[in-house]
Amino acid sequence: MSYPKPHIIVEGAVQYTLGMMKGNQIVYDFDKMLVYLDAKGKLLFGKKFKIYKEDRDVLYKLCLYFIQDGISCKEFGIDIDKGILLSGPVGCGKTSLIRLLKNLVPHRKPYEVVPTRNIVFGFNHLGYKTIEDYGNTQFFCFDDLGVEPIGRHYGKDCNVMGEILLSRYDLFLDKKIKTHATTNLNAQELEDLYGIRVRSRMRQLFNLVAFENSSVDKRK
């Protein structure tokens, strides 16, 4: 599907203009993107969804990344060729935002958001084929990285997500295939769970974008 005007998104009877064309480039307007994200969020997650004022800084970085504004991203230390690791406390809205933001750029290849627990349950049932399935060239976002249990297939334990992250790292090196993830864990907790080798690969796979630890639980 082609998008001759990817900065204009139609939802039902409403048209959202996210910016303007200058030559063959789109100049995005952050406030207009927020209006669209708020409206799309309500469509996806219900009328209680809203964009919180205290999340604007995180959202600004994420929007810059998803529209692939390389110059502005560089100012924030974000590499547009890597994926995003979105971290923050439970209930801060990570999963909702990562599901929402791909709608901002309908002209780009979408990623599938998959809970890590589901992947491990699949491994327990199907075995190593599951690791192969997530080591392919599809774009994935692994949701809630680090809360999944250890996999167990025919009596053998396996750190399933650790193995998958190593496969995704190889894909990134060979074919520049991106991987995204969300997590409640900090860097040390991730290293304790997956080991130094995987943690080292994660630094090369991901840009870290983090909510403040004081972020409120929006589920309450």
Report CA-CA distances (Å) from 127 to 123, 133, 158, 170. 5, 11, 10, 21
> What would the pLDDT profile of 174-205 be if each residue is shown by its tens digit?
999 999 999 999 999 999 999 999 999 999 99
Which sign does the torsion angle of CA 4, 95, 191, 136 carry? negative
Which pLDDT does position 25 carry in this prediction? 84
- Strand bridging mode 179-183 / 83-87: parallel
d(CA 148, CA 87): 16
Confidence of residue 171 (pLDDT cuts 50, 70, 90): very high
pTM for the full model?
0.92
The pLDDT score that the predictor gives to residue 1 is 52
Domains of the chain: residue spans and CATH: 8-210 (3.40.50.300)
pLDDT tier at 23, thresholds 50, 70, 90:
confident
CA angle 158, 160, 165 (to 5 degrees): 135
**Number of Cα atoms under 13 Å in the Cβ half of residue 136:** 8
The total number of residues shown for the chain amounts to 220
Mean residue pLDDT of the chain comes to 92
Cβ contact 14:61 at 8 Å: no
* Backbone dihedral angles phi then psi of residue 86, each to the nearest 5 degrees: -95, 115
Neighbours of 97 (CB within 10 A): 21
Residues 6+ apart with CB under 8 A from 58: 88, 97, 209, 210, 211
Parallel/antiparallel/unpaired status of strands 83-87 and 206-210: parallel
Q: What are the pLDDT digits (tens) for 30-71?
A: 999 999 999 999 999 999 999 999 999 999 999 999 999 999
